[in-house]
């Protein structure tokens, strides 16, 4: 007996070929379980089973949690794929099993949260596959002592969430704890916390890949790649669109970011489009060997691309930033932030936040220590095109081959006693209103124009062109 025959008859076939009517969710599940266990039934692993065989009825107002859980338990045990037809299924407290495979009609198969505590959770659900499903939290309360997201999955490897939608969560959208796998072609929107949160990704199993996703209207953050303590992570965020990220919870950068990487080393963010974020498009905090490559960012409230605090190693290259308080910042040498390449970026239309008491910005690129800044194009920076060092916090910076246009100060270099060496060479600076190259005491220019002169032993100037 084949799965296809059972599905086509829309009933459960028990011995002798007699059709058994589905009289309730429980009886359907029991009958289907008997069919699965019959020794004369043959099922190819990966075959599809329609959820209606378990009594699941699309677009009914009743809670179908028990029927869906039974379907998950039995199909996962047999290596079958559970297929859910278009419609809305009200469920809660669903637990995914190892090897579970659930497929729906993309955008039309809706699992609606029925309330009562948790929506979809898993622990150790290795090999789980979810595709073509809409997870709708309906803005109903979650039991926050147990979960922080609509989908909360722990300790699962080879996990796949593909072509899904997650929406209307009063907390986070997707929470992955100690997992490895991929989230692809998935939209997460209208969440009161963060859209996707990966904590302590399983490095040995390949970490987390988030690709071709769309993140919209998150109250606090878009994508979080975090670790509980410093360590290699290696997760990747690629080719995704992230927009309208607020910072409802406040703070000075903990919230309001398109992608936030914390303590996780070896993470890359590539070829993403990130718009309208309250703080940063991409923010790495204590994230070493951090790569930010080929992204587009616009409408960013603070620093668009940020490597801060105790990191060692950042590659920020080939990005476009149009509209931010600062295009790129590689800072916090005072607490160990160092070692960076900032290359080939296009940064324009910076703004000053005059309402801020101190942190006004208006800078194209800001760096501090052990950094090479080359081949960047910066236009329209109301404070400085390139800011090198802050107070005594500057060491071994090379700024060569950059083009800076229409900045108040073209290149601003710290002149504070104790600052390290800096080489500024072969840059073109055009239309700098208050000087092409100026020495600085923190935010205050000191002395006259430096272009073509060597007034400070720690600042080496060579071959710059000013117009």
Whether residue 21 contacts residue 63, with contact meaning beta carbons closer than 8 Å, is answered with: no
pTM reported for the whole predicted model: 0.90
CB atoms within 10 A of CB 21: 9
Whether residue 414 contacts residue 390, with contact meaning beta carbons closer than 8 Å, is answered with: yes
CB atoms within 10 A of CB 146: 10
Q: In terms of Cα–Cα distance, which of 123, 124, 206, 213 is closest to 166?
A: 213
Whether residue 405 contacts residue 376, with contact meaning beta carbons closer than 8 Å, is answered with: no
Whether residue 408 contacts residue 443, with contact meaning beta carbons closer than 8 Å, is answered with: no
Specify the pLDDT at position 38: 38
What gap in Å lies between CA 138 and CA 254, rounded to an integer?
26
Specify the pLDDT at position 5: 25
The encoded tokens of residue 268 equal: 């890359």
3-state percent helix, strand, coil for the chain, nearest multiple of 5 = 10, 50, 40
Specify the pLDDT at position 452: 66
What gap in Å lies between CA 365 and CA 398, rounded to an integer?
13
What gap in Å lies between CA 63 and CA 375, rounded to an integer?
60
The Cβ-side half-sphere exposure at 173, using a 13 Å CA radius, reads 31
Q: E strands along 26-148, which residues?
A: 48-50, 81-83, 87-91, 94-96, 101-103, 109-113, 120-123, 129-131, 134-136
∠ CA 266-152-135, rounded to 5°: 110
Total H helices, total E strands in the chain: 3, 46
Whether residue 321 contacts residue 335, with contact meaning beta carbons closer than 8 Å, is answered with: no
Say if strands 101-103 and 81-83 run parallel, antiparallel, or are unpaired: parallel
3-state DSSP call for residue 281? coil
Whether residue 279 contacts residue 255, with contact meaning beta carbons closer than 8 Å, is answered with: yes
Specify the pLDDT at position 22: 33
Specify the pLDDT at position 45: 57
Tell me the residue length of the chain: 467
Place of tokens 């992608």: 259
Specify the pLDDT at position 46: 59
Helix (H) / strand (E) containing 146 = none
Whether residue 398 contacts residue 435, with contact meaning beta carbons closer than 8 Å, is answered with: no
CB atoms within 10 A of CB 249: 13
What gap in Å lies between CA 6 and CA 19, rounded to an integer?
10
Q: What is the pLDDT along the chain (467 residues), one digit of tens a residue?
A: 333 322 332 333 233 333 333 334 445 445 455 445 433 344 455 599 999 999 999 999 999 999 999 999 999 999 999 999 999 999 999 999 999 999 999 999 999 999 999 999 999 999 999 999 999 999 999 999 999 999 999 999 999 999 999 999 999 999 999 999 999 999 999 999 999 999 999 999 999 999 999 999 999 999 999 999 999 999 999 999 999 999 999 999 999 999 999 999 999 999 999 999 999 999 999 999 999 999 999 999 999 999 999 999 999 999 999 999 999 999 999 999 999 999 999 999 999 999 888 889 999 999 999 999 999 999 999 999 999 999 999 999 999 999 999 999 999 999 999 999 999 999 999 999 999 999 999 999 988 888 766 678 899 999 999 99
Specify the pLDDT at position 25: 46
Whether residue 249 contacts residue 274, with contact meaning beta carbons closer than 8 Å, is answered with: no
């Amino acid at each position: 007996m084949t799965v296809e025959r059972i599905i086509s008859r829309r009933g459960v076939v028990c011995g002798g070929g007699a059709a058994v009517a589905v009289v309730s969710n429980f009886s359907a599940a029991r009958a289907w379980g008997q069919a699965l266990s019959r020794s004369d039934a043959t099922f190819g692993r990966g075959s599809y089973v329609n959820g209606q065989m378990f009594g699941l009825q699309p677009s009914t107002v009743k809670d179908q949690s028990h029927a869906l859980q039974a379907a998950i338990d039995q199909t996962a045990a047999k290596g079958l794929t559970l297929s859910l037809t278009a419609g809305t299924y009200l469920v809660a407290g669903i637990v995914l099993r190892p090897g579970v495979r659930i497929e729906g009609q993309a955008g039309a198969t809706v699992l609606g949260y029925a309330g009562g505590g948790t929506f979809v959770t898993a622990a150790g659900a290795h090999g789980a596959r979810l595709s073509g499903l809409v997870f709708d939290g309906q803005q109903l309360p979650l039991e926050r002592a147990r979960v922080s997201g609509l989908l909360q999955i722990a300790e699962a490897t080879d996990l796949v969430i593909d072509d899904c939608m997650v929406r209307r969560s009063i907390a986070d959208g997707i929470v992955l704890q100690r997992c490895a796998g991929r989230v692809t072609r998935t939209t997460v929107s209208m969440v009161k916390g963060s859209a996707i949160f990966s904590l302590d990704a399983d490095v040995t199993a390949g970490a987390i890949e988030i690709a071709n996703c769309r993140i919209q209207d998150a109250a606090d953050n878009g994508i979080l790649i975090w670790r509980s303590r410093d360590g290699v992570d290696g997760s990747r965020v690629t080719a995704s669109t992230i927009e309208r990220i607020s910072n409802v919870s406040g703070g000075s950068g903990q919230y309001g970011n398109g992608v936030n990487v914390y303590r996780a080393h070896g993470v890359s963010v590539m070829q993403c489009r990130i718009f309208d974020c309250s703080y940063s498009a991409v923010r790495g905090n204590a994230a070493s060997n951090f790569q930010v490559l080929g992204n587009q960012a616009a409408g960013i409230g603070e620093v668009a691309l940020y490597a801060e605090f105790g990191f060692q190693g950042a590659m920020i290259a080939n990005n476009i930033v149009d509209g931010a308080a600062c295009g790129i910042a590689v800072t916090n040498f005072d607490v160990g932030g160092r070692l960076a390449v900032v290359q080939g970026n296009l940064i324009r239309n910076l703004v000053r936040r005059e309402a801020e008491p101190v942190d006004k910005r208006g800078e194209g690129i800001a760096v501090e220590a052990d950094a090479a800044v080359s081949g960047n194009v910066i236009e329209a920076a109301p404070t400085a095109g390139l800011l090198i060092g802050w107070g005594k916090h500057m060491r071994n910076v090379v700024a060569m081959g950059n083009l800076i246009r229409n900045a108040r100060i073209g290149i601003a270099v710290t002149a504070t006693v104790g600052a390290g060496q800096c080489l500024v060479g072969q840059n073109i600076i055009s239309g700098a209103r208050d000087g092409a190259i100026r020495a600085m005491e923190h935010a205050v220019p000191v002395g006259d124009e430096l272009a073509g002169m060597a007034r400070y032993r720690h600042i080496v100037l060579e071959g710059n062109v000013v117009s």
